[in-house]
A and B are shown apart, each in its own frame.
Chain A
Amino acid sequence: MARVVVDVMLKPEILDPQGQAVQRALPRLGFDGISDVRQGKRFELEVDGPVDEAALARIHDLAESFLANTVIEDFTIRVEEVAEAVK
């Protein structure tokens, strides 16, 4: 089994009101020096079977049509090694 991570972020030109609300709260909490915050979504997909090119192509379709709204969001896909139990 393998894990594929899909990160979805608002495109840079799209205003992110949630990120801005977080950023504005930071000085109140004593965190200075952070000039911008943007908030995204991370999806972790546990994939049965091998993560070969065909599987990645299907996940790309899934991300493009469903997980992200490409009108306003970009996405990246990466395969994460799932640590096997050490014998």
Chain B
Amino acid sequence: MTARIGVVTFPGSLDDRDTQRAIRVAGAEPVALWHKDKDLKQVDAVVLCGGFSYGDYLRAGAIARFSPVMEPLLEQAKAGLPVLGICNGFQILTEAHLLPGTMLRNDHLHFICRDQKLRVENAETSWTTDYTAGQEIHIPLKNNDGQYVADAYTLDKLEAEGRVAFRYLDFNPNGSQRDIAGVTNEAGNVVGLMPHPEHAVEPLIGTGRTDGLPFFTSILKKLVNA
């Protein structure tokens, strides 16, 4: 039996189908989860995908953080369930305090959509073992509130513990502090990033490369070998 990876759909989620597809391309079984679900249907991992959950009317991710599905997710993530937050999913994970820091409006105030070069800084998280540390990848980025900020103490701590998982290369698209594109929690099971690996798993779409696929093969390998 293959790994079952849940993808949560909130009202306003946009990338749930792409994420399910990426999971299928990697060889795992996607399981649709609904924001009102009170259990996680015994999935082996969860992806919180991109979009504008509940319209993001208060702050990006702030309302989604209190939806029913987040209760079991918070509890199980703290116990080791692998969780990946992409873009809005990353914002939700910071609002839920599963990941440190938070996201502000892009410093230039514009929505941005581009192919973004990144460096994989940590290839030991649940979602990055099929990369090598220092590897440079191109995956799409699209967001309005992508400026990663945290206080200096938190940033120093993240750097010292190797918890900056991804960094923007060549161009900082949103003013993120220390060019941070993604971070991980202490245990390495919860990862969040602003760019979108699920849009770069097939050569015909996105960047024309498949640089995002290792996210989904990493977790599959971890779960199958577990």
Interface residues of A (CB under 8 A from B): 14-15, 17-18, 21, 66-67, 69, 71-72
B57-79 vs A: 1/0 string, CB under 8 Å? 01100100010000000000000
Q: How far is the CA of A71 from the CA of B101 in the complex (A)?
A: 7
Beta-carbon contact of B150 and A71 below 8 Å: yes
Contacts of A14 in B (CB 8 A): 104, 149
Interchain pairs with CB closer than 8 A, number: 32
Q: Is B102 a contact of A69 with CB atoms below 8 Å?
A: yes
Complex Cα–Cα for A17 and B149 (A): 13
The interface residues of chain A lying within 8 Å CB-to-CB of B151 are 71
> Are B108's CB and A17's CB within 8 A?
yes
Question: Which residues of A are found within 8 Å of B149, using beta-carbon distances?
Answer: 14, 71-72
Q: How large is the interface on B (under 10, 10 to 19, 20 to 34, 35 or more residues)?
A: 10 to 19
- Check B105 against A18 for contact (C-beta < 8 Å): yes
* Candidate in B94, B108, B151, B175 with the most chain A CB atoms within 10 angstroms: B151
User: In the bound complex, do residue A67 and residue B58 qualify as a contact, i.e. CB atoms below 8 Å apart?
Assistant: yes
Given contacts A15-B175, A71-B149, A72-B104, 12 further A-B contacts (CB under 8 A): A14-B104, A15-B104, A15-B107, A17-B108, A17-B109, A17-B175, A21-B109, A66-B66, A69-B95, A71-B94, A71-B150, A72-B149
Q: In the complex, which residues of chain B have a beta carbon less than 8 angstroms from the beta carbon of A17?
A: 104-109, 175
| B107: A residues at CB distance < 8 A | 15, 17
Q: Which residues of A contact B102 (CB under 8 A)?
A: 69, 71-72
In Å, the complex CA distance between A15 and B109 comes to 12
- 10 A-B pairs with CB atoms under 8 Å apart are A15-B104, A17-B104, A17-B106, A17-B175, A21-B109, A66-B62, A69-B102, A71-B94, A71-B150, A72-B149
Q: Mark B104-116, 1 if CB is under 8 A from A, else 0.
A: 1111110000000
Q: Which residues in chain B, 137-162, are within 8 Å of chain A measured between CB atoms?
A: 149-151
